[in-house]
Structure 1
Amino acid sequence: MANTLLAAGASPAMAHSIGEVEDFVALASAVLINVGTLSEGWVGGMKLAAARAGRLGKPWVLDPVGCGATPYRSKVCAELMLLKPAVVRGNASEILALAGAAGAAVKGVDSTAAAAGECERAHALGAAKQLAARHGCVVAVSGAEDLVTDGSRVVRVANGVPLLQQVTATGLAAQLAVEDGAVGPGSLRVGLLDSLWTMTEQQLREGARVLE
């Protein structure tokens, strides 16, 4: 993730210590909270970072990795939702589980279902719209075609390749990497970084497949 941000022109800092995370938030333009690694100390740092970002009016993104896998993970994600993220991004299964943990009504699909199939994606979109409306944020459901909603409007982002399931922190740049010859996760990672580094505004405007 740090390499991806660097290639895109950002200056990432991977801070999680309770002793410094608020100071890093003050320096940052935006914050990403990824719950992939949970420990008591890290959770404390996440909550401090989210609260500080809110007080400073800086946008922060919640990535509820594995939400629904354990009761503790779901509880932490629900508590972070109360701190008002600007954006929530997860796969269909994570969004369904988060909606249930955060008090939104999820019907028709078990919250631990695998993120596959049009039926589940339809239910995940409904859950995403409820989350967005309830918490005043944008929710993105990642997949072969990303679904993004603010609670009322929905757009679809159709950039992607099957290899995206084998790596993280990707998007349009991965599509360009495959077009340039990436054939597996290793070459995709290299091509992805190169594509982010060389991407022009014209490529982004012409290549982004955003559908209302």
Structure 2
Amino acid sequence: NVTYDEREGYFKLKSGKITRALTYNTVKTFAQTLRMMALCKEAIDTDEEVTKREAYYVSKNWGEARFEEQPESDTVMEDIEALFGVNREQLGFIPEEKGGEVAGELLVIDRDRTTGEKIEIDCTRFGSGAYSVPISVEQLEFKTKAKFVLAIETAGMFQRLNNHSFWRETNCILVSMGGVPTRACRRFIRRLSDEKHIPVYAFV
């Protein structure tokens, strides 16, 4: 149910929909969906986050509505994403893995979760380290005069280029994808490219 938009440069959901009727055969899935939505509401109300794995284990206390395997839990989570038209991170569900690392000519503007004050994070000032992409990137703002983004497949090559300040020589932003990039890392790169109108090159 997706199509590739050549003009935009990424996949988009098509208009296909699934109607789920409440019957004897679907009552368990209905119950699981309602339970997962309740867990999501609790996470949002308390400003907490729940990993996908934790959500699966929490279901073990749901009696007959519990999930037998995590893929079942993940599928219901994806259904809720589609239902509300948002991503799972906005619903309070996060993956286990990190989002990615960033170094170079970029100021990331985030907010203090307690006070709401804006925080400017300079990605040139982490020494031999790097800025870690957060699980949710929708709230971030960017300031940069970089010429391009270099998305690097391996953490080792990212560290090597960062150690030699390659970003300073070429006026770019380095992003470590750590193999298969997380959704947060992909969204971070997409937003940065779209909003600042800079190209992205992949080093694989």
Larger Rg: 2
Instruction: Normalising by structure 1, report the TM-score.
Output: 0.25
Q: Give the number of the structure with larger relative contact order, counting CA–CA contacts within 8 Å between residues 6 or more apart.
A: 2
TM-score after normalising by structure 2 = 0.26
